[in-house]
């Protein structure tokens, strides 16, 4: 037992306010689950991480939390090995690669890694605190002072159905002018200089018009469109052709490696993905077939920050670009993304982040986003501190929830607007 030995692991599921953002499967619910993981060492050093908080993540997270005391926060490799043996029975997942939704394929291995990622980040944070070093120094040292993020544009409503949830001042965005107004506001408030539109919501021509309107408003800015695999190969090619002069890349226009490869073969617009390549098993085929030109890494999917660097190396070796994906997350993960992004020599595009859409956080201070950038913290660990009151408040919301929000269900939220709605089969258009 030394000062780095883990004495206590604390899991805190929370529900975080989420705006009524639209995507191809439906509508964000008013609250979305996240899981906050804390580790505390014998030397009194703490570390924090976060990951997906849906019910299926919680049981394996509890198992892992039980097994950690007595281990060292140094031992990230051992942690990942332990995570690889977590039972995930009852989730309906197997170790084979199944088709999935917005988060790409759903496999038992990916679930385990998504759980482990929060523990890995918490261990790195605690190790950094104990050694007096920022996380990036544990990953080989940062190569940049700031990490640039893209504005993440959504078609959205001004309010949730029945005015549920927490109100915000962003207004609605249901057509091209609405998207441009939102982009202007995001640029004003955060200084973003590149823009991603979550598509797959309106018929492709309307989304093409929205991207054209963005190009007119922000000439020369990198633009991206992400319909989450909602299109056919033919539609993908038509959109790529129509927007070829303004798109930095097209993200997951269609579903699956086969279809992505078919699109990639016929267009010079690069294809990015956070759906087609989200597990190691998907890489060889996608890379050797040239199905994707940019992988958007999500450190939660890949098992944490060290594994993200491994993914970066695989991409580098095969000449595939790298940037970062974001799902709804808090400041802990933004800090973690920033630390790992700071050490990747060849980060080819600005990273995605949902952070501006999250009005609530569990930190004593929000992670500042200015000029579209987050400064890389040189403080020990991740450089963030938990606000225990905020954490308790969001946990109470989770405890008191009747089950409606404990598992993210965009189709359920959408049904409150469109009775009988079910996530459309893909390709939809």
Residues classed as catalytic: 198, 325
The DSSP secondary structure of 145-180, one letter per residue, reads: SEEEEEEEEE-B-SS-GGG-S---S---B-SHHHHH
Is residue 288 at the binding interface for its own copies, with CB under 8 A as the rule?
yes
Q: Residue 375 phi/psi, 5° resolution?
A: -70, 140
We find the least distance from the C-beta atom of residue 310 to its own copies, in angstroms, to be 3
Among 102, 283, 369, 374, binds its own copies (CB under 8 A): 283
Is residue 85 at the binding interface for its own copies, with CB under 8 A as the rule?
no
Beta bridge partners of 11: 37
Is residue 243 at the binding interface for its own copies, with CB under 8 A as the rule?
no
Is residue 311 at the binding interface for its own copies, with CB under 8 A as the rule?
yes
CA distance 297 to 315: 10
Is residue 265 at the binding interface for its own copies, with CB under 8 A as the rule?
no
What is the contact mask toward its own copies in residues 33 to 72, using x (rule: CB under 8 A)?
Answer: ---------------------------------------x
Looking at the Cβ atoms of 187 and 320, the one nearer to its own copies is: 320
Size of the site for its own copies (CB under 8 A): 33
Is there a contact between 372 and 151 (Cβ–Cβ < 8 Å)?
Answer: yes
Among 343, 374, 384, 386, binds its own copies (CB under 8 A): 343
Looking at the Cβ atoms of 194 and 308, the one nearer to its own copies is: 308
Is there a contact between 104 and 92 (Cβ–Cβ < 8 Å)?
Answer: no
69-72, Cβ contacts within 8 angstroms, sequence gap of 24 or more: 69/6, 69/7, 69/8, 69/9, 70/1, 70/5, 70/6, 71/5, 71/6, 72/2, 72/4, 72/5, 72/6
Is residue 141 at the binding interface for its own copies, with CB under 8 A as the rule?
yes
Is residue 80 at the binding interface for its own copies, with CB under 8 A as the rule?
yes
How many Cβ atoms from other residues are within 10 Å of residue 120's Cβ?
31
Is residue 75 at the binding interface for its own copies, with CB under 8 A as the rule?
yes
Give residues 171-230 in contact with its own copies (rule: CB under 8 A): none
CA distance 361 to 160: 20
We find the least distance from the C-beta atom of residue 43 to its own copies, in angstroms, to be 12
**Cα–Cα distances in angstroms (integers) from residue 67 to residues 8, 80, 197, in the given order:** 10, 12, 41
Is residue 318 at the binding interface for its own copies, with CB under 8 A as the rule?
yes
DSSP-derived letter for residue 201 is S
Is residue 310 at the binding interface for its own copies, with CB under 8 A as the rule?
yes
Looking at the Cβ atoms of 309 and 390, the one nearer to its own copies is: 309
Looking at the Cβ atoms of 280 and 428, the one nearer to its own copies is: 280
**Cα–Cα distances in angstroms (integers) from residue 271 to residues 236, 296, 396, in the given order:** 10, 10, 42
DSSP-derived letter for residue 280 is G
Is residue 81 at the binding interface for its own copies, with CB under 8 A as the rule?
yes
Give residues 107-126 in contact with its own copies (rule: CB under 8 A): none
Q: Nearest 5 degrees, angle CA 108-CA 111-CA 116?
A: 125
Only one residue has tokens 């790992």, namely: 340
Looking at the Cβ atoms of 284 and 368, the one nearer to its own copies is: 284
Is residue 74 at the binding interface for its own copies, with CB under 8 A as the rule?
yes
The DSSP secondary structure of 362-377, one letter per residue, reads: SBSSPPP-BTTEEEPP
Is there a contact between 110 and 301 (Cβ–Cβ < 8 Å)?
Answer: yes
We find the least distance from the C-beta atom of residue 313 to its own copies, in angstroms, to be 3
Stretch that binds its own copies, among 138-146, 232-240, 382-390, 400-408 (CB under 8 A): 138-146
Is residue 140 at the binding interface for its own copies, with CB under 8 A as the rule?
yes
Residues contributing to the site for its own copies (CB under 8 A)? 72, 74-78, 80-81, 127, 131, 133, 137-138, 140-143, 280, 283-284, 288, 306, 309-311, 313-314, 316-319, 343, 345
């Amino acid at each position: 037992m030394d000062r780095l030995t883990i004495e206590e692991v604390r899991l805190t599921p929370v529900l975080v306010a989420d705006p009524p953002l639209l995507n191809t499967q439906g509508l964000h619910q008013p609250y979305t689950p996240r899981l906050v993981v804390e580790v505390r060492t014998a030397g009194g050093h703490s570390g924090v991480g976060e990951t997906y908080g849906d019910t299926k993540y919680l049981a394996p997270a509890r198992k892992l939390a039980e097994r950690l005391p007595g281990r060292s926060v140094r031992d990230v490799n051992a942690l990942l090995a332990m995570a690889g043996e977590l039972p995930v029975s009852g989730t309906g997942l197997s170790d084979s690669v199944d088709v999935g939704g917005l988060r790409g394929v759903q496999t038992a291995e990916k679930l385990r890694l998504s759980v482990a990622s929060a523990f890995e980040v918490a261990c790195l944070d605690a190790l950094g605190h104990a050694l007096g070093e920022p996380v990036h120094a544990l990953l080989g040292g940062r190569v940049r002072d700031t990490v640039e993020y893209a504005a993440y544009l959504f078609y959205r409503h001004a309010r949730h159905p029945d005015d549920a949830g927490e109100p915000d001042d962003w207004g609605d965005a249901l057509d091209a002018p609405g998207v441009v107004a939102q982009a202007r506001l995001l640029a004003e408030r955060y200084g973003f200089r590149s823009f991603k539109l979550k598509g797959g919501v309106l018929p492709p021509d309307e989304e093409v018009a929205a991207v054209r309107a963005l190009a007119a408003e922000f000439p020369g800015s990198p633009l991206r469109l992400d319909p989450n695999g909602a299109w056919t190969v033919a539609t993908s090619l038509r959109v790529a052709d129509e927007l070829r002069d303004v798109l930095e890349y097209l993200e997951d226009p269609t579903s699956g490696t086969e279809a992505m490869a078919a699109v990639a073969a016929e267009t010079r617009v690069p294809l990015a993905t956070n759906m087609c390549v989200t597990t190691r098993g998907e890489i060889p085929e996608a890379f050797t077939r040239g199905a994707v030109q940019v992988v958007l890494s999500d450190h939660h999917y890949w098992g944490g920050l060290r594994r993200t660097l491994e993914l970066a190396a695989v991409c580098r070796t095969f000449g595939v670009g790298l940037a970062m994906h974001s799902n709804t997350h808090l400041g802990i993960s933004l800090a973690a993304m920033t630390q790992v992004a700071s050490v990747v020599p060849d980060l080819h595009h600005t990273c995605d982040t949902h952070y501006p859409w999250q009005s609530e956080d569990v930190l004593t201070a929000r992670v500042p986003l200015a000029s579209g950038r987050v400064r890389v913290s040189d403080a020990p660990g991740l450089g963030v501190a938990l606000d225990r009151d905020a954490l308790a408040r969001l946990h109470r919301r989770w405890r008191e929830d009747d089950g409606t929000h404990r598992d993210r269900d965009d189709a359920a939220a959408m049904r409150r607007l469109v009775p009988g709605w079910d996530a459309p089969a893909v390709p939809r258009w």
